[in-house]
Amino acid sequence: MGTFGVWFRSGTGARRRRERSAVAWHTTPVTPDAVRLALRHALRDRCDAALRDDSTVRDPAAFDAAVRQLAAALPFPVHVTVDDVPLAPEAASTAYAVICEALANVVGHAEARRAIVTVRRHGPTVQLSVTDDGSGGAQPVIGGGIVVLAARVAALGGMFHVDSPPGSGTHVTVELPYTTRER
């Protein structure tokens, strides 16, 4: 067997050190589970990078491209719709981090065949959703990525909701205020 690794441009987040210690990055056998685990870690690294002030998602075109890059890396089809929405830097990085974390959870837990990512302007807010057709049953974990991001969304004046009935997939929705940047 060969080895496999997935990397996006990112650093090592403190939140992932414990997870990474369980993975031998350079000697992981190429199995479907190993590929899913490596991809999940890479997606979470992107989440951490976005929260550390990643400038690659600041303008609407870069945000759209970054979301599409994530979708293209997944082992199942992801339909992406991103409106040209001028987001404040904190809102853009938070929205991107939510998408990364939600997709990491789809890869790691959902056994999904497809997902949908939508980012749309709605009045004074930006609404984003990540939906999958996987197994559902997602449970929040204290200190887990979804819980941490829900707190960040709330700190920005937004709302965060997860609907995940067992056997019916998971639907993550976030509403964030946006600020039009001066040009």
Mean pLDDT of 164-174: 91
- How many angstroms separate the CA atoms of 64 and 137, rounded? 29
Sorted by sequence, the CB contacts under 8 Å of residue 152 that are 6+ apart come out as 51, 94, 97
**What predicted TM-score, i.e. pTM, was given to this entire model?**
0.74
Name the nearest CA neighbour of 10 among 61, 70, 75. Answer: 70
Q: Read off the pLDDT band of 6 (50, 70, 90).
A: very low
Q: What is the pLDDT of residues 115-165, one digit of tens each?
A: 999 999 888 899 999 999 988 888 877 777 788 889 889 999 999 999 989
pLDDT of amino acid 171: 93
